[in-house]
């Protein structure tokens, strides 16, 4: 009421719009500790801005049980783990809360890395899955703030232009 009497207007909040790029995956292969690593990198994030909106780095590692040579999962193991991972990826990204950066397979593990907007949403969802035991294989995750995307730089440096 006083604002209307004195002619002061409330400032309307500035609304920014973030356009999430369509995922574009490229294959990366390298050797670490004499074991092959195969990764699918979302190269669409290399030039994505504003990166600071997705300032949290979420890394999740799933342990495979049935392995073939050089620490790679068998087809039967992938048939068990892949549907869970695909569903989990969609759930973590739901509502535009996260961007998938990379999926790696190495030394008996599958690692997913997302860039996250609201860490509480991702954390609560992962805790729910762990508490309810809604997973086919053991997994662990770690999330930390990384405003400058330092942990993603190595991946982007691997992209050939």
Weakest mean pLDDT among 18-27, 66-75, 92-101? 18-27
| pLDDT tens profile 11-56 | 333 457 888 999 999 999 999 999 999 999 999 999 999 999 999 9
Assigned domain for 23 exists: no
Mean pLDDT of 110-117: 98
**Domains: count for the chain:** 1
Residue 6: pLDDT over 70: no
Assigned domain for 11 exists: no
Q: What is the model's pLDDT at position 95? A: 94
Q: What is the model's pLDDT at position 159? A: 81
Assigned domain for 133 exists: yes
Structure-token match 């330092």, residue found: 150
Structure-token match 């739901």, residue found: 94
Assigned domain for 33 exists: no
Assigned domain for 146 exists: yes
What pTM was computed for the model? Answer: 0.87
Assigned domain for 55 exists: yes
Assigned domain for 158 exists: yes
User: Strand, coil or helix: what is 97?
Assistant: coil
Assigned domain for 31 exists: no
Q: What is the model's pLDDT at position 161? A: 56
Q: Kindly report the CA angle at 157 between 53 and 82, in degrees rounded to 5?
A: 70
Q: What is the model's pLDDT at position 15? A: 58
Q: Which domain holds residue 157?
A: 51-161
Whole-number mean pLDDT of the chain?
90
Six-digit token string for 99: 């961007």
C-alpha to C-alpha distance for 57 and 43, rounded to whole angstroms: 16
C-alpha to C-alpha distance for 132 and 121, rounded to whole angstroms: 17
Q: What is the CATH number of the domain that holds 106?
A: 3.30.70.100
């Amino acid at each position: 009421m006083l604002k209307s009497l004195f002619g002061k207007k409330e400032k309307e909040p500035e609304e920014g719009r973030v356009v999430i790029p369509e995922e574009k995956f490229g294959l990366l292969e390298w050797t670490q500790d004499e074991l092959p690593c195969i990764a699918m990198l979302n190269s669409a994030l290399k030039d994505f801005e504003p990166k600071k909106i997705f300032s949290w780095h979420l890394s999740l590692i799933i342990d495979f049980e049935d392995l073939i040579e050089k620490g790679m999962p068998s087809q039967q193991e992938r048939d068990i783990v892949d549907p869970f991972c695909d569903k989990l990826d969609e759930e973590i990204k739901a509502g535009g809360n996260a961007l998938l950066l990379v999926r790696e397979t190495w030394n008996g593990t599958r690692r997913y890395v997302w860039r996250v907007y609201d860490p509480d949403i991702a954390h609560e969802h992962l805790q729910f899955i762990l508490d309810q035991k809604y997973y086919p294989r053991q997994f662990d995750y770690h999330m930390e703030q990384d405003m400058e995307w330092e942990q993603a730089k190595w991946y982007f440096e691997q992209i050939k232009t």
